[in-house]
Amino acid sequence: MFVTNQIYAIDHHHGQASRTILSGYPTIRGATMREKSDYYLKNLSWIHESLIREPRGHRNMLGAILTEPVSEDAAFGIIFNHAFGVFDSCGDSTFAAAAALVETGLVPAVEPVTRFTLDTVLGPIAISVDVKDGVVNMVRFENVPSYEVGCVKLDVPDLGEVNLDIGFGGQYHGFVDADALGLKVNRNNESDLVAAALKIWANGGKEPGIKDPENGRSIVLNLVSFISRNDTKNSYNVGHVYPPGRMGRTPGGTGTCALMGLLAARGEYDPSETFAMKSVLGLEFVGTGVPVQMPNGSKAIRPTLGAKSYMMGIHQFVIDPADPFKHGFVLEG
């Protein structure tokens, strides 16, 4: 059993742990990445359930699983995982997976910069990896177009009127001025930030009744993101909270891009300048952007972000069919 039932994965972190699942699972079928993602959820979700959840993972772990590419120039396709399912986009796991591909030789390293493309549900993303003396020093990815979605005002018990500024950077983020609510964005204030986010979700934040200007569909908010300005130009602190009530460890790839796109649309950020976002752990993502025109004529930017992920371990997992928790569990509380 154990000889034939092996799944290989590699773990990285940059504050946020992400597990890239490399091989040892059935073919993920589909002509597009959306079809592959749907097929995966219907037929193979046991993979991330087994490897991302406890006891092999934990409830805050992220992950990615490799697929065959769907575009001619891409090295691989990638589906982003979390304990309960999949994301269309995830900056944290992009950084980790890109590092894993180069460090394992699945993408041959070229010094000083290794360049390749990954297919995602939202389209191909360009990757560049700085390599020196065989060591990955920095990963950068060019994200999907990021833009302002809109703003809603919510009446939230205990918080009062909350302005929710919504941006898209691969996921929908609702940005809240933490200072306006008297909240501090730091690691010691996690419980207050999570409690505030849960109240915002419960009082209109989850489905704020606003449509994406690009596709016309009503949005569902993926994260509530509390921000505060730093004294340095184009620099913010952020605390991302995602369902069912967890605090992000990093500045968030999609969140950083969403805020860049939102502020650029309002004329508050020049995308040619460096933008910096710091997490509750003090970790920083930096990037720039270039203006792009969306198919419907609206304005957006295409951000490029960089970070370094640190390898933590290489795994050869087995799944014992007699194990009562072979497909993992999540213990809340």
Q: Determine the average pLDDT of the residues in 148-171.
A: 95
Closest by Cα among 164, 167, 205, 203 to 181: 164
- pLDDT average, residue stretch 282-290: 95
pLDDT band at residue 245 using 50, 70 and 90 as cut-offs? confident
Q: Where are the domains of the chain?
A: 6-133+310-318, 147-293
Instruction: Take residue 236 and report the two structure tokens written for it.
Output: 């913010």
User: Over 60: is that where the pLDDT of 54 sits?
Assistant: yes
Confidence tier at 169 by pLDDT (50, 70, 90): very high
Q: What is the pLDDT of residue 10?
A: 97
> Per-residue pLDDT averaged across 283-308, rounded?
92
pLDDT band with cut points at 50, 70 and 90 for residue 333: low
> The tokens 């591909």 sit on which residue?
101
The separation between CA 242 and the C-alpha centre of its own chain, rounded to angstroms, equals: 11
d(CA 226, CA 76): 34
End-to-end CA distance of the chain: 35
- Dist CA 313 CA 305 (whole Å): 24
Average pLDDT for 51-69: 95
pLDDT of residue 4: 54
What global pTM score does this model have?
Answer: 0.93
Is the per-residue pLDDT at 284 higher than 60?
yes
- Give yes or no for residue 302 having a pLDDT over 80: yes
Residue 193: phi and psi, rounded to 5, are -65, -45
- SS3 of 116, please? strand
CATH for the 6-133+310-318 domain, from 3.10.310.10, 3.20.20.140, 3.40.50.11540, 3.40.50.12160: 3.10.310.10
- % of the chain residues with pLDDT over 90: 87
Asked whether residue 210 carries a pLDDT value surpassing 50, the answer given is yes
Question: Quick check: 18 and 11 in contact, CB under 8 A?
Answer: yes
Q: Do domains 6-133+310-318 and 147-293 have the same CATH topology?
A: yes
pLDDT in tens, 18-36: 999 999 999 999 999 999 9
Give residue 2's pLDDT: 47
Is residue 91 very low, low, confident or very high in pLDDT (cuts 50, 70, 90)? very high
Which is higher by pLDDT, 39 or 6? Answer: 39
Say yes or no to pLDDT of 215 above 80: yes
pLDDT in the model for residue 243:
86
Catalytic positions are 90
- For residue 293, give the H/E element and its range: strand 284-293
Confidence of residue 146 (pLDDT cuts 50, 70, 90): very high
**Tell me, what's the pLDDT at 297?**
79
Q: Is the pLDDT of residue 1 over 50?
A: no
Q: Can you give the pLDDT at residue 332? A: 73
Mean pLDDT, the chain, as a whole number? 94
User: Residue 3 above 90 pLDDT?
Assistant: no
CATH class of this structure's domain 147-293: alpha beta
Nearest to 21 by CA among 76, 91, 73: 76
What secondary structure does DSSP assign to 213-267, as a single string? Answer: TTT-PBP---EEEEEEE-SSTTEEEEEEEETTTEE-SS--HHHHHHHHHHHHHTT
